[in-house]
Structure 1
């Protein structure tokens, strides 16, 4: 019998109500290999839901997790529906987690813990349910599998199905805990990076949504030039750090309303070196990427930029993209030393600086993506300064 790990269950009933041992092993090996390669929580949850469904021939399978901060159970993966959140301890899954025991229910409508409201809202008819809690490496329950409706004529699960879902759950908990820890670390890094970026901009009186807009612009331009989604997302996360080195520049220079003198400009240019030195020794890939952006976003395609005067493709693509995003936003926004330029004047400058300040190919992509960039500018518009 064939199984389809990443496809929806068809309406055709299978010829058998149970998997053979060989089929179960093949399903487990296939999914565990895929899960081991994933670093995204949502992707892992989907794979686990599909694994549980395929192992016991369920119509639907859901992976629930505990949100201790909000005292809720939630799932971002439930076949046929979007995210669901329920109070911790409620429903059949909540009861199963609370008592730490698996449940096999033949007729959900005969069980007072079943919430039939979801069925009434979606038009789906729940018959039989299996719920199996799973634990992390410390033995504490972190969530539960829940399968709904056996893919058979009577739609009822058996004790054998329960044992098979327990097998899936024994792997799920340890894998999920690892992924959740990874995502927590990444979320913390993202928050720190964005906050540090805001600090750099606030000191130079570039308040408002500058760092947010530069991040979004960078992401759009990165995708436009063919960068992988994962890499484009990474650039989006670190681009707010491009001016972090301004923390070392005196306020008298950062907040000067008029043109800088030659000496003042030389001091201002130091922010690229300072930002690079702050970030370059980090062992985290995100901060290493941020170091590149901080160091090279003022370099120019023709070699007349700073701090090193490198040119062309010797400038990292991250720096070239951020340069366009930063200049576009700076020109289109009010600053203490100038008013925002009109769009026509900005576009004329980009045409003039194509192949001089900016990578010519990226200028072409910038023009192609202009409608999306303008939407971002409108969405994160600054208040008057």
Structure 2
């Protein structure tokens, strides 16, 4: 069924609604989704794609394309490449009669592209950073008009400048994450662990958090901060940290201080990432029944992210060979988690652990270190 062009008041409602959403959003992918949805609703098309430039790989790519997954094409190819290179919009009534149309994506997805409108957008300095591309007009006329170009150009002008701000924010977050991951690896290297330990714990934690019903944002936050769970080990003497035999009570008391040390190192930050990392560092050795350390917290007194990290950390510790023990077989690990459900570990997280075990094992296989495998 054909759609009718939006009345002015309807169009204003769409524009104001999406500009408010874009202005309040700090997650890059969410902004791109809002941009694509705004474009589709404004000009009544079947699909709207937001393309960005990957300068490092000389590609154009989209993570947001209605109906399809990520697409990457060589820079300068296709209609979108032509529009970006020329810095000018393109309107095509019949894509298959235009030699610039790249039909490979249609062949791969089974979709039939008819009419196309492509509008480049720039940043605050006027540099082109991407393009809107709308496909298949849904009104009776069946192709895009000068009015559609005007509307999509309006959306591109606003969204492109907003996108630059979000991309800069994302770059800062990515840099923080890289620093956090590197610091976490430094803590593990001192205890003869390899960098993949913190990577595995991060990925396990993310899967468990999602399985437990936490939001994508919270799960991603945990994946980012969990590599710092043992950062306090940087202050533990090597003679204790890497002792091959059984620790004395006094030595174990020293080991336990790494939780408070990690908390002290991170807690003063104003950044959400580091504040959350400080909580995980302090509480990941607490136990559901209150017998853990450093404070003997019990049940839900322990932060949910620390409870998840505890399961992920123990699973990895038991799975891999360490200086003081051999790797456990999977059956023995499963038995321990059954036995410690409601004692060491939150019962709900243990249930999620078993439900998500195939995913965890795939991660373990993918991130197994060569040193640990031999």
Name the TM-score, length of structure 2 as normaliser.
0.88
TM-aligned CA deviation for residue 336 of structure 1:
0.8
Alpha-carbon distance between aligned partners in 2 of 1:275 and 1:206, rounded to the nearest angstrom: 17
Secondary structure of the residue that 1:227 maps to in structure 2?
coil
Secondary structure of the residue that 1:77 maps to in structure 2?
strand
**What are structure 1's unaligned runs of at least 5 residues?**
1-11
> Mean Cα displacement is larger for which, 147-156 or 361-370?
361-370
> Mean Cα displacement is larger for which, 216-225 or 158-167?
216-225
Say how many residue pairs are matched. Answer: 372
TM-aligned CA deviation for residue 139 of structure 1:
2.4
TM-aligned CA deviation for residue 173 of structure 1:
0.6
Alpha-carbon distance between aligned partners in 2 of 1:369 and 1:19, rounded to the nearest angstrom: 46
Which among 39, 44, 52 is matched to residue 57 of structure 1? 44
Report the equivalent of 1:270.
Answer: 257
**What are structure 2's unaligned runs of at least 5 residues?**
none
> Mean Cα displacement is larger for which, 279-288 or 100-109?
100-109
Report the equivalent of 2:232.
Answer: 245
Alpha-carbon distance between aligned partners in 2 of 1:63 and 1:361, rounded to the nearest angstrom: 40
Report the equivalent of 1:282.
Answer: 269
Q: Would the alpha carbon gap of residues 364 and 128 (structure 1) be closer, same or farther in structure 2, given more than 3 Å must change?
A: closer
Q: Does 1:233 align with 2:220?
A: yes
Which among 7, 10, 13 is matched to residue 2 of structure 2? 13
Alpha-carbon distance between aligned partners in 2 of 1:371 and 1:100, rounded to the nearest angstrom: 48
Q: Does 1:100 align with 2:83?
A: no
Secondary structure of the residue that 1:130 maps to in structure 2?
strand
Alpha-carbon distance between aligned partners in 2 of 1:121 and 1:207, rounded to the nearest angstrom: 41
Secondary structure of the residue that 1:155 maps to in structure 2?
coil
Q: Does 1:35 align with 2:22?
A: yes
Structure 1 residues 216-365: aligned runs within 5 Å: 216-365=203-352
Report the equivalent of 1:197.
Answer: 184
Alpha-carbon distance between aligned partners in 2 of 1:226 and 1:117, rounded to the nearest angstrom: 38
Report the equivalent of 1:144.
Answer: 131
TM-aligned CA deviation for residue 65 of structure 1:
1.1
Q: Would the alpha carbon gap of residues 158 and 193 (structure 1) be closer, same or farther in structure 2, given more than 3 Å must change?
A: same
Which among 117, 120, 124 is matched to residue 133 of structure 1? 120
Which among 50, 54, 59 is matched to residue 67 of structure 1? 54
Report the equivalent of 1:6.
Answer: none
The root-mean-square deviation of aligned C-alpha atoms, in Å, is 2.6
